[in-house]
Amino acid sequence: MSINQEQLNHLRQQALALQAEVANVQEAMNATEVTGVAADGQVTVTMTAAGEFLSVHLDPNVLEDNPADEVEALILAALRDATAQLKDHAAQRTGAISSVLDRLRAS
């Protein structure tokens, strides 16, 4: 099977469309922030969807009222909450790439 110039141009356009969509997803991931929460908001962890940690907040009462191992568990819970949000966000964003791939397969 040989590929003519028209088919080659079509494949190139599809590859460029996929590349642009991947770049859009990466840009959106870098710009999106999520905040993981624990203990009714007394512990928060904010990070970008690209995985960069931006801040950690501990209500002073958490530090006064809880032993260190419980504070550590609360921080871990906030991190897990943020990670779960990131997974959901990533699944939604990669769905856009999947739709481009589906269109490529169909053509």
What domains can be seen in the chain, in order of their start residue?
Answer: 5-106 (3.30.1310.10)
Give the Cα separation of 97 and 81 in Å (integer).
Answer: 25
Contact 48, 61 (CB under 8 A): no
Phi, psi (5° rounding) for residue 32?
-90, 135
Read off the pLDDT of each residue in 87-104 and give the average, rounded to a whole number.
75
Q: Residue 97: is its pLDDT beyond 90?
A: no
Cα dist. 50→32, 38, 80, 93, 106 in Å? 8, 21, 15, 12, 31
Give residue-wise pLDDT tens across range 20-74: 888 887 787 778 899 999 999 999 999 988 788 999 999 999 999 999 999 999 9
Q: Is the pTM of this model over 0.95?
A: no
